[in-house]
Amino acid sequence: MKIRLQILFFLISSLLYSQHPTPKLIEGIKNKAVFYSSSVKNSWEREPIYIGNIQKEIINKFENNRLLAIENHYENECNKGYIKREKNSFKNTFEGKVDIFVDTSQNIKFSKVVYHEKSSNTFDFFYANPVVLTNNDSQDVQIGYGYYIPLIMQAQNEKGEWTDIERYYTLDCGTCLNMIYFKPNEITITTSVIYDGNYETKLRLRLGENNFSNIFTGKINRSQIE
């Protein structure tokens, strides 16, 4: 029976991988990291690690990660020589056909400024799963702005309802932000923090109201969905 289950798991994993060929993330961050535990909704600056064609391996770096990722994949109205696109030449973040896959088979590290209500903010490192977004549209799709990809984590409560356990990250300034985009069939890789808590449930990421990731199991604190 155990062997049959192992074979079934292998076949399911192989099928998922064939549908979502996730690159292997080579860990390049040496800082110590922890799993994230919270009783409130937090915001995450999900920055791109990589944008471009599918690669077999990608190094997860700390310094200049986002700068290397958006190279040749951003536009800024304040840049010299900027040419404004035609309105229908690309789709915005929530309109485009984007496939979202959370690869729970890989754990990587990422850094974040954690905002505390009653104490000073801290700069910490956390464990995360890679998230692969694929542009399945026939046009370029805006995937974010500044250095931020507006993905929101949702959890299923005891009634089976999906509820947001995160909130959108609010930028201090909206002037001359980069428009990050990726081309048809290109991928964008970012991170999804691994939560730790006392309540096991189903989780997923959403981009807008129509694009959702695969469903996976994780542990959060019950207060996050109450």
Lowest-confidence pick of 8-17, 72-81, 195-204? 8-17
User: Rounded to an integer, what distance in angstroms lies between the CA atom of residue 170 and that of residue 128?
Assistant: 21
177-193 average pLDDT score:
91
The predicted-structure confidence for 31-81, as pLDDT tens digits, reads as follows: 999 999 988 888 887 889 999 999 999 999 876 677 788 888 888 877 766
Any idea which residue has 């970012």 for tokens? 190
- Kindly state the tokens that stand for 148: 């931020």
- Which one is predicted more confidently, 3 or 162? 162
Cα-based distances in Å from 62 to 71, 110, 113, 220: 16, 7, 13, 26
Cα 173 to its chain centre, rounded Å, is: 22
Higher-confidence residue of 88 and 221: namely 221
Q: How far apart are CA 70 and CA 48, in angstroms?
A: 7
- 60 versus 172: which is more confidently predicted? 60
pLDDT at position 154 is: 96
Question: Which amino acid, 81?
Answer: G
Per-residue b/e over 101-136, b at no fewer than 16 CB within 10 Å?
bbbbeeebbbbbeeeeeeeeeeeebbbbbbbbbbbe
How many whole angstroms separate alpha carbon 218 and alpha carbon 225? Answer: 13
- What is the pLDDT at residue 80? 66
**What does pTM read for this prediction?**
0.85
pLDDT of residue 23: 93
Using one digit for the tens of pLDDT, what is the confidence trace for 138-158? 999 999 888 889 999 999 999
Q: 172 falls in which pLDDT band (50, 70, 90)?
A: low
More confident residue, 37 or 14: 37
Q: For 94-135, write each residue's pLDDT tens digit.
A: 888 999 999 999 999 998 877 776 777 778 899 999 999 999
